[in-house]
Structure 1
Amino acid sequence: MSASSSSGEFALIDRHFRRPSPLRHATVGIGDDCALLAPLPDEQLAISTDMLVAGRHFFEDVDPAALGHKALAVNLSDLAACGAQPLGATLAIALPAVDDAWLEAFASGLFALADAHGCELVGGDTTRGPLTLSLTVFGSVPPGSAHLRSGASAGDDIYASHAPLQGLGDARLALQLQQLARGDTPPAAAILQTLEPRMRHHLLHMTRVRLELPQPRIALGLALRGIASACADLSDGLTGDLGHIMQASGLGATLQALDGADGLLHACSPALRTLGNDVALQMALAGGDDYELVFTAPRDRRDAVAAAAARCGLCASRIGRMETEAGLRFVDLGGRQHSLAARAFDHFG
């Protein structure tokens, strides 16, 4: 983002995205053709880009402050999966028209999350077009410390992170409740329509924050350095994102619905489980937009995983194990084993 004009595009940048606070990680920020970002000494840059498109990734009437938060959160989630410390970000935004009130709210949501994680906006671009947001984030990680998808070993435990009283599938439930309210027919419509309107409203109130204001697990990603063997962020559904780890590591996996105090059901929230355990498990397996971490760790690191999650105020539910046998399997509540397709959401599928 360069800024030199008193009106139009550059004035928009000055009003909403240039900040007077001193730069922490960039030696040159907004205002030149390139920003100059200084990596931490003896560390590598971790870089990731995500795009959000109106009508595809979010409803166009979503609260702009929540959209600003989520646009950055989905990118920071990738840094969390890598175990990287955020440094900075660039924002490219296409707008159908300039709406200063909308932009002010959007920027407030974005900067609130950016400040919470020490991630400064150092550049980007603006243009006219259908509402589209594209952010690139930069992080820092010591050589050899990054969590990669390829690091899992047979016998490793599989974990999913979540906050207490929240869990996998909450965002999926919130999306389907919103779709139903808009007159659409989501996959769980038959079940959701049996609920009283007051109960649907209550469930949406309980889960909407998980869809619109996901919290990137940066602290957990850092705490798992030297503990996790592989990691991915849960953006496109558990089966697909775990599938990325399986493919990169050359392994298979078995997930379990319930195994004493462990199992996928423990990673489902009480709100989701009001729909029944089978529905909760289905949404946890196939839902997207969780932005939690799915990671693996050796069996002898169970205490270290629990301690790392506790320091971050989070839960790390043990949901399965990595295996030499190819493919993804799921053991249901009745102890029956099923084969699952380890496919993630595909925009062109």
Structure 2
Amino acid sequence: MTDVPGVRDRTVAPGPAAAVAVAPGPRRPARAGRTNRTLAGWGFALPFAVLFLVFTAGPVVASLVMSVTDLRSADLLDPFGVNVVGLDNYVRLFGDEKFLTAAGNTAVFVVVGVPLTMALSLLVALGLNSGLVRFRTLLRVGYYLPVVTSIVAISVVWRFVLQPDTGLLNEILGFFGIAGPNWLGNETFALPTLIVMGAWRNLGFGMVIFLAGLQAIPKDLYEAATVDGARRFARFRYLTLPLLRPTMLFVAVITTIGYVQFFEEPFVMTQGGPLDSTLSMAYATYNQFGFGNYGYASAMGYVLFVIVVLLSIVWFKLLRNNVDD
């Protein structure tokens, strides 16, 4: 009964249903459930982990060890006769004229090829995104097709197109009375020709990424800018480019990594010639492995790896600050 005057006691006596106690069932320990989930996760990850250790991490560590030795192909029969030379292989690289030539060619390929590829990719993406171009789906497929086509097949076709006497390009130039040069046999034209070919082949990749970035920009922003009196170039400069910087960062890093390692084009089309004018760092590393200089070639490979990392950091420094803003 309640002690407050005027307030009726509403306490309900427990009925038979309330008196029934539910007996707790057997409870599974939480620790056992977490253990089973952990074991299941490791079970799914184990095949990948084994393959990664055997085919990726293992060779990376082995090549790092090889880079500080004088290992040659003849030493494979007597691995205990290999000498540790420390950083001598790396010091030797900076006095190797052929390697320095390859580094210079690679630098030209990257410095010219990456901006050219990005500019062409963005230009094509802007055209396809404008809505003024017909058959956009067909064009997207056509531009992207070289990306998924074998680079060896593409290089063979380009080599026939660029033949000095019977090549299609010189035949077209001859129709207009222009004598075309030996594109791949001339020291002046060989590397620029490979740069143009690389830009054409990788244009489709950048186009797809830029097109996705353009379609992610809200149209309301363009409508508001138009109402405020911004013209087309102003909208592109002050609206499109700033909002595309994350996309530009991704395309720049991926394209740079690919161009630093360019190998198939000179291997198939010029064999590094003429006069080493198209010799790349990756091709020079391949040649050293072919000569049996495994330790020296491994040092070349790690220098190439450091260059890729440094260039990626440079792109992040140039574009990341604007991305974070």
Q: Give the shorter-chain TM-score range.
A: under 0.3
Which structure is higher in helix share? 2
What TM-score results when the alignment is normalised by the length of structure 2?
0.21
- Structure number with bigger Rg: 2
TM-score, L = length of structure 1: 0.20
Q: Point out which structure has higher relative CO (alpha carbons under 8 A, 6+ apart).
A: 2
